[in-house]
Structure 1
Amino acid sequence: MGLFQPDTDIFRNRDALREDYQPEEIVGRDDELQQYISALQPVINGDQPPNVFLYGKAGVGKTACTRYLLSELKADAAEYDIDLTTIRTNCEDLSTSYQVAIQLINKLRDPDDQLKPTGYPRRQVNEWLWEELDSIGGTIIIVFDEVDHIEDDSILYQIPRARANGNLTESKVGIIGISNDFKFRESLSSKVQSSLCEKELQFPAYNANELRDILRQRADIAFYDGVVPKEVIAKCAAFGAKDAGDARQSLDLLMEAGDIAVEQGAEEVTETHVDEARASLERSRIVDGVAGLTQQGHLVLYALVMLHEEGETPTRARTIQDRYEIVCERAAIDPLVPRRMRDHLNELAMLGIASRVERNKGEVGGRYYEYSLDTSPDLLLEALDETVDMVGVTEAIQKRLNQSY
């Protein structure tokens, strides 16, 4: 008998819990789907496709709904003899309109006719883009996922206006922009807002009931019958709703709980497995998040941990700056200026390691941010072991370390 054998007790189709799995039906987003359908209706009418902007936190269904509706739209368009092409590009690693244009061109070209990342005049790149789009013809919808990573909004202005400006004659192009940043729209120029944000849809966080429906739908596909009781679904949904209303987190939690059940040779997934899975995922998230920080990021985080252990959080950036400079002195490293130090604080907030809350004290105190830890200090100190050894400990940190061992 070999070392590896197929699991026949817990998982029937584990891939149904993965991020890239597309369910046959979207649950928990009825209102948003109806608004989305209305926004895309002009395509079936043969009209110019609208520009739609979706925003909401990660894991609230923006991308899943887009994949689902565009699949349905393509099928319906074929039935009505409408030539529809959809193009999706993730902008996570793209920061300029130039890079976006190059990637779009390469998606449209044959593999043996690809452009290099750099080295072309901007005007030439734009002309190549119009040529490629016009060669397709018909109706084209371009999806920019994580569109907020694009630092200049040139392409977001040019594509919606390409036909009106005479750059396209054979194609009608619309954009769907997807962003996790609620304030991204405010960063756009007014001329881009009026075109890109022609139709806007906001996706709120899922509540516990919606997450239960999503988890039950996936669990019925992913697991064998009777393996996942309703109590497990409810617990995963409750954790997801409490954290951020994030379906991705809840699905990851259910998958990890299932993996633990398989490892332990259990006959079903239990609430204990969910607790173990949550602890495991939290540890992995922190380890990965801290590992991705620079040395200066580690020092900023350690300063915040110190203040947390001393009961000094939530606190303002200037208080953290003072402690951070002391930490840098102990580590014999030059500190960053306050603005750069705040960049690291904001990165911690983006990673979910810290939280950032805006305060407004009116004319007397003005507006400012307060920061606090949003993660287990025990796990953070474990992940920061090299920084702790380099900087040393305060009395409060030593007390925390003594409790951990």
Structure 2
Amino acid sequence: MALFERDHDIYRDRDALREDYQPEELVGRDEELRTYQGALQPVINGEQPNNVFLYGKTGVGKTAATRYLLEHLKLDVAEYDDIDLTVVFSNCDGLTSSYQVATRLVNEFRSETNQISTTGYPLGAVYEMLWDELDDCGGTILVVLDEIDHIDDDSILYQLPRARANDKVAEAKIGLIGISNDFSFRDDLSPKVKSSLCEQEIHFPAYNATNLRAILQQRADVAFHDGVLNDEVIPLCAAYGAKDAGDARQSIDLLMKAGDLARDEDTERVTAEHVRRGRRALERGRIKEGITGLTEHGHLVLYALLTLDLEGEAPIRSRDVRPRYTRFAELANRDPLVPRRMRDHLSELAMLGIVSVTERNEGRRGGTYREYALDMDVELLLSAMAETVELVGMHDSIEEHVDDPPVSATLDDFE
């Protein structure tokens, strides 16, 4: 008897719900696609490409729109004999410097037997190698840097868009497409970089429930057999997705998790209960994964915000989180980070979807600032932060959320 047998009762093509699936059409992004297509029009005209900067939260279609349009652009360019288009796509996750990005780009153009080391060269020497590779390639070259906000310095973001104007290349027309999940990344760029990189800006807002229903229906039509999904499944997945920052990826993952639960239980249909249970399972996994990846100070910042939120102080500004964070760092025998680095951790928590951010503008007197609040279940957060609570001690505000808190671990003399 076979231990594994194929099961096709629920799914027709489960891969249609995976992250790497590219639908034939993108739904819910008509306006952004029109703007983006216009920004890429110079390529098909044989002109110098625009530099394009895309920004918006995770899961709102920035990367999907880029891949979709560039695939069409490559097909359409093939109809013209006088255009030679090369697209280089690089995700900057794990790259923290212009040196690392430039090295990766050099290696993208080189054979496996002619790769350069990621260390040991002056930055200027790596740039010279990059200019040589770009000119040897020639034609129109679009360099896509996804998650561009991971780069700590902006040298490469100035050098690439200005390479032709600064006589670094003669044969290549270079266009840079930067994609960022961090709304504040653009504000931190130097003026000279901002004027080059942000030549054409496109903001991708969060999807609403209507957008998400259309996206989910498009995927479901391919992924599931007819009649398998109960009527409330897609609206419920879309509603949860709209609540969770309008993230299409999370909505699609939820639909797949619900389908997997139904398949594992050998049921004939996917129901709303499968969606609810799937959401709880995904949320636990997402919180655990996100928090596990944080640094120790990231944990301390989150613990500080959690206790302030439970005391009714949130939404709260970073400057008001700082005293609590500083105290927790001292209790953990750690040197507190400077305010800017502490704010970076708050931004990272927001990017992970653990913390929500509200922009405030009080005009000339108050200026513009951000307020932070928790956007996750308290018990789930605490279960993932057990080591931090043990290291710092248990704050009064979390006692009722922890089963049988040890008296010795409570911060009785806190502040």
TM-score normalised according to structure 1 size? 0.91
Alignment coverage as a number of residue pairs: 403
Paired residues for 1:265-304 under 5 Å: 265-304=266-305
Q: Which amino acid aligns with 1:76?
A: D
Shift of 1:213: 0.8
Corresponding residue SS for 1:267? coil
**Matched residues, percent identical?**
61
Shift of 1:73: 0.8
Q: Hey, what does 2:51 align to over in structure 1?
A: 51
Structure-2 separation of matches of 1:83 and 1:366: 48
Distance 1:318 1:187, change over 3 A: closer
Structure 2 residue 190 is matched with structure 1 residue 225:
no
Q: Hey, what does 2:199 align to over in structure 1?
A: 198
Shift of 1:327: 4.3
Q: 2:55–2:204: 8 Å Cα contact kept in structure 1? A: yes
Runs of 5+ consecutive residues of structure 2 not aligned to the other structure: 406-415
Q: 1:157–1:195: 8 Å Cα contact kept in structure 2? A: yes
Shift of 1:247: 0.7
Shift of 1:199: 1.8
Q: 2:330–2:336: 8 Å Cα contact kept in structure 1? A: no
Per-residue CA distance 1:207-240 (angstroms, 9 max, x = gap):
1111111111111111112112342111111111
Per-residue CA distance 1:119-178 (angstroms, 9 max, x = gap):
112222112111111111221111111122222222222222222333222221111111
Q: Hey, what does 1:23 align to over in structure 2?
A: 23
Paired residues for 1:39-188 under 5 Å: 39-81=39-81, 82-188=83-189
Q: Which amino acid aligns with 2:49?
A: P
Paired residues for 1:312-331 under 5 Å: 312-317=313-318, 319-324=320-325, 326-327=327-328, 331=332
Structure-2 separation of matches of 1:171 and 1:210: 39
Shift of 1:181: 2.0
Per-residue CA distance 1:61-82 (angstroms, 9 max, x = gap):
1111111111111111111122
Corresponding residue SS for 2:12? coil
Per-residue CA distance 1:245-275 (angstroms, 9 max, x = gap):
1111111111111111111111111111110
Structure-2 separation of matches of 1:206 and 1:361: 27
Structure 2 residue 250 is matched with structure 1 residue 249:
yes
Corresponding residue SS for 1:174? strand
Q: Which amino acid aligns with 2:72?
A: E
Structure-2 separation of matches of 1:193 and 1:233: 41
CA RMSD of aligned residues (A): 2.4
Structure-1 separation of matches of 2:109 and 2:180: 24
Q: Which amino acid aligns with 1:33?
A: L
Structure-2 separation of matches of 1:148 and 1:396: 35
Q: Hey, what does 1:36 align to over in structure 2?
A: 36
Q: 2:88–2:142: 8 Å Cα contact kept in structure 1? A: yes
Q: Hey, what does 1:354 align to over in structure 2?
A: 355
Structure-1 separation of matches of 2:290 and 2:203: 28
TM-score normalised according to structure 2 size? 0.89
Shift of 1:319: 4.9
Structure-2 separation of matches of 1:137 and 1:360: 47
Shift of 1:368: 5.3
Q: Which amino acid aligns with 1:30?
A: D
Runs of 5+ consecutive residues of structure 1 not aligned to the other structure: none
Distance 1:14 1:335, change over 3 A: same
Q: Hey, what does 1:384 align to over in structure 2?
A: 385
- Of the structure 1 ranges 51-60 and 286-295, higher mean CA displacement relative to structure 2 is found in 286-295
- Of the structure 1 ranges 387-396 and 372-381, higher mean CA displacement relative to structure 2 is found in 387-396
Shift of 1:360: 5.5
Q: Which amino acid aligns with 2:249?
A: R
Corresponding residue SS for 2:232? helix
Q: 2:58–2:351: 8 Å Cα contact kept in structure 1? A: no
Per-residue CA distance 1:320-371 (angstroms, 9 max, x = gap):
444445545655x245156254444443333222334455567877765443
Q: Hey, what does 2:409 align to over in structure 1?
A: none
Distance 1:164 1:369, change over 3 A: closer
